[in-house]
Structure formats: C-alpha cells, structure tokens
Structure 1
Amino acid sequence: MYEGKPVEGATVTFGSAEIRGAVGNTDKQGEVTLWTYEPGDGVIPGKYTVAIRKLEVLALPDPEQVSPEEYSKAMREMNRALSGTPKHLVPKKYSKHETSELTAEVVDGGENIFTFELED
C-alpha cells in the first residue's frame, strides 16, 4: 500500500543472508505470490528483509499509430529519460533491503500474509 492504495506492478523481494530469497510482482490489488526456485512455489520459512521497488516504465508509441514527428519526439524523450536516473514511483528507500526497514518472518504451515504501508 502506498498513499492508501494498492501498488500494482511493483517488484517485491524477500532477502536473507542465510536463506535463499524470493521475488514476485504485485497485481492490481497490490498482492503478490512470491517464488524461490520457480513461479508460485512460495518462500522458504525464515526471517527476511523486504524490498519493494516500482520504477517508471517507458514505452514508445506504435509507429503505425502516430506521425513520424510524434514518434521522433517520443524517441528523443525516451533517450533523455534513459540517460538519467530511473524514476521511483514509490519512495526510493524501500527499493533496497538495507534501507527499507521492512521485515517479514515466514512460518512453515502459516498463512504468511504481510501488509506493508509505504510512507514518504
């Protein structure tokens, strides 16, 4: 959750120095099914730090749907954006395990549902 709303399209990672980590992407409801070895296989029980990252995704328009001038302008804007720092769509501090301050303990046989409220 960020600004009271589910975050769609964020990458969530559970990391640990002792246990293999897990990763997944949030859906429209801000929910994620994490996987360790293959999609959907879950998380190994243990204590984790959590990182959540959502970056701006750039896309070019379909060249068949816009004028050559509009397409060229979009290309210039994309090149300019790609040469800079990526834009974080949730606070940057959550993008790294070292700075997020988010943790989770996954228990064997438990429901293991975690809600993270991201704040500026």
Structure 2
Amino acid sequence: MRLFGLLFMLSIGLMLCSGCFGQKGLETAPVTGIVTYNGKPLPYGRVSFRPPAGSPATGEIQSDGRFSLSTYGNGDGAIVGTHQVSVTATEVDAGVMAATAANTEMTVPKSMIPKKYTSFSTSELTAEVVSSGKNQFALELND
C-alpha cells in the first residue's frame, strides 16, 4: 500500500512538472529580413535578436542575404518587444578560412564585417517585433 501511495504521488508530481516544461515561454511572432553589407546582400553569417527578458532569437543568413528567426522552435520568430541586434559573419561562414594543421592550436576566425556589428552592445542595431503585422527588417551594415 505504501508503494502505491508513493507511485501515485510521483505520478502527480510528474504531471504537474510536465506542464511547466511543455510551455514555450513568452509570445513570439514570425521575423524575416535581409542583411546588406556596403549595399550588397551579405551571403553568409548569423543574425541574433536579444530581448530585455527571455531567450534570444537567431537565424542563419542565406546566400541572398535573407534570414528568418527562431527562438523556441524552427521558424517561430522572436519574442514580441524591443530587441538589440547583432550580426556575425566570419571566415568560417564565408568558407575562406585556411585549414588548421594537425597538432596546432585552432585560430580564432576573422570577422568579415566590422566588429562593432558582432556585439549587442556596440552594433547600434535595434528592432521592434510586434505581435500582429509585418516583422520584416532590413539590416544595413557599412564600413
């Protein structure tokens, strides 16, 4: 009887916890856009949107400069609200980093865009994601 009670309590606890872990979190909205560098589409790299609270959204930049963001799942967008934005594009992303010889230290990939864009605190890029309406952003990077 004691074992039955213990199993019953354990199953109730698991059911309560599954509700906690199954939630997605804060409201998201689909986000797409294009990244240009010196007026031309940036064909590689990664875009990140960071809200004041909650998980950041990220997305790979495609060969035409376009991106779409995901926060909790594939293509769900970014959390609704104001975001700081960063863009990274390295030699690795561009496919131009030289191979590292065996038994040597791996070098840090060089940024292919100005370093200021790679940090939320220095990029000066922001975006306002709304719950209804278009969330299409043009991120223009320059030297």
TM-score range, shorter chain: 0.7 to 0.9
Distance 1:106 1:8, change over 3 A: same
Q: Pick from 35, 39, 43 the counterpart of residue 4 of structure 1.
A: 39
Q: Distance in 2 between matches of 1:114 and 1:100?
A: 15
Q: Distance in 1 between matches of 2:100 and 2:71?
A: 37
Q: What displacement does 1:75 show?
A: 4.5
- TM-score (normalizing by structure 1): 0.77
Query: What is the CA deviation profile of residues 19-51 of structure 1, one whole-angstrom value per residue up to 9, with x for unaligned ones?
Result: 322000111121111000111111121000000
Instruction: Verify the 8 A CA contact 1:19 1:46 in the aligned structure 2.
Output: no
Matches within 5 A, 1:1-120: 1-57=36-92, 75-76=100-101, 79=104, 82-83=106-107, 85-120=108-143
Total equivalences in the alignment:
105
Q: State percent identity of aligned pairs.
A: 40
Q: Which runs of 5+ in 1 are unaligned?
A: 61-72
- Runs of 4 or more consecutive aligned structure 1 residues displaced over 2 Å after TM superposition: 73-76
Which has the larger strand fraction?
A: 2
C-alpha distance in 2 between matches for 1:53 and 1:118? 11
TM-score, structure 2 normalization = 0.65
Determine the C-alpha separation between the residues in 2 that align with 1:59 and 1:3. 20
Which consecutive unaligned segments of at least 5 residues does structure 2 have? 1-35
**What is the RMSD computed on CA atoms of the aligned residues?**
2.4
